[in-house]
Amino acid sequence: MLGSVHALIDSVGQRLDIPQDVIDKLKAFNKEHVFDIKLENGKSFKAYRIQHNNKRGPYKGGIRYHRGVNLDEVQALATLMSLKTAAVNIPMGGGKGGIAVNPRDLAETELEELSRKYVQQLQPHLGSEKDVPAPDVNTDSKIIDWMVDEFGIISGTEDPASFTGKAIAKGGSAGRTAATGRGGVIALAELLRLMGKSEKQYTIAIQGFGNVGSYFGTVAQATQANWQLIGVSDSQAGIQNEAGLDANKLQKFKADHGRFKDYTLAGAKVISNDELLGLDVDILVLAGLEDSLTADNMKNVRAKYIVEMANGPITSQAHDYLTAQCKVILPDVIANAGGVIVSYLEWLQNKRSEHWSEAKVNERLTELMEKAVQAMYKDAEQSQTDLKQAAFAMAIKRLTA
C-alpha cells in the first residue's frame, strides 16, 4: 500500500516539476513509534503511531484496532492523511496509529487497559498542538474518552483538544459519527453537479456497510431523491434488491448485530462480496478496507462512478485500468475527508471552548467539502488528468510550498 502511495506522489511530483529531493523529503516520516503493549494478564500486542508531516499543523489521524494492522499500512495511511488534510485545506498534518488486535477477543477491562497503555507510551508526543488522534476502524468515542482521561492523568493538565471523536458530554462534536459518510455524499453530489449530471437517476451499491458505508447510505437516502440503493455488503456477504433497499432499516439491522448472510427480508437476494463489486449499478461505493479492487477483480466492475470511502481501496494497477475504461473515480483523499474535517471542527470548538449545533457543523462540512471538490475538478480539467492525480497535485503543492 505504501509503495502505491509513494509511486503516485513521485508521478505527480514529476508532472509538477518539483525537484526529486523535495518529493523524497515529503515522503519521509518525521517520527515513527513502534512498540509492544503488554497487558497484566500477559497478552502482548504490537502498536504503532506514525507522525508523517506537521508542516501545516499538528499531526492528525485515527487509531485503528485490527488484527491486520502493520507498519506498512500505518505508514501509508499516515501519508494519505497528510495529503488529505492538505487537499481539503485544513490547518493540520498527517499521522496514523494502530494496534494489531481484534478488540472482540478482549474483555472490556482488557480493552481499557490496552487503550490507556497506548497513551502511556505516547503521551510526550501527543497534545492539541502536537498530535491529535481520533477513532478509526474498531475504535469509538468510549475508547477515545479513556485515552483523553489517561492523557490528563499523566500530563496533569486538561486538554480536551488533544483527541477528537470524543463523546458529546466529553467535548465531542455534533455530527462527528456520520461525518465521513455525509462528506462522501456531499462530495459525490458536487462532482455530479460540476459534470452537469446531477439530475439523472442513479443506482448505488455500497461495499462495506459499517459506520462509513451505512451513513453514506442513510444520508444519501435523506438528501438525494434520485439515488437508489440496490446493493450492500459486509465482511461476509452482500444483499441485492433491484426494487431498492432502505438504508435506515439496514443500518438498524447491522446495529442489532445482524449479518447480511442471514438477511431474509422479502425481495432481497443474498450475494457474495465479489458479486456486489460486479453489480450493474451506476455508482459503486467502496467503504470496506484497502485493496478491495485489484488486478484480480477490476475487470468485473460495471459501475461508471466509483467512490473511495475507504483509504486506498483501489490498487494502482486497478486504478489505471479503470481510468482507462473511462470510469470516474472520486479519490479517497477527498471523498472520505468528512471525518477529518469534522475532527478539525471538534478541535476548533475545544480550542475556543464552544459547542456548535449539528446544523452548523454540517454547514461548515459542506462548505469545505464542496470547495475541495471544485478545486480538484478544476485542476483535473486544466491539467487533463484524472481526479486522483488532481487531488494529489493540490495537496503536494500545499505541502511543498
Backbone angles phi, psi at 288, to 5 degrees: -95, -120
DSSP for 307-370, please give it.
EE-SSS-B-HHHHHHHHHTT-EEE-HHHHTTHHHHHHHHHHHHHHHT----HHHHHHHHHHHHH
Here the contacts of 146-150 (C-beta below 8 Å, separation 24 or greater) are: 146/112, 146/115, 146/116, 147/63, 147/115, 147/116, 147/118, 147/119, 149/116, 150/115, 150/116, 150/119, 150/120, 150/123
Choose, from 27, 31, 43, 96, the residue flagged as catalytic.
Answer: 96
Closest CA to 283 of 217, 332, 369: 217
- Is the distance from CB of 391 to CB of 8 less than 8 angstroms? no
- Is the distance from CB of 153 to CB of 183 less than 8 angstroms? no
Residue 254 annotated as catalytic:
no
Please name the residue that has the C-alpha cell 462548505: 367
Backbone angles phi, psi at 97, to 5 degrees: -140, 165
Alpha carbons 304 and 203: distance in angstroms, whole number? 11
Tell me the Ramachandran region of residue 147: left when phi exceeds 0, alpha when psi lies from -120 to 50, beta otherwise. alpha
Residues designated catalytic: 96
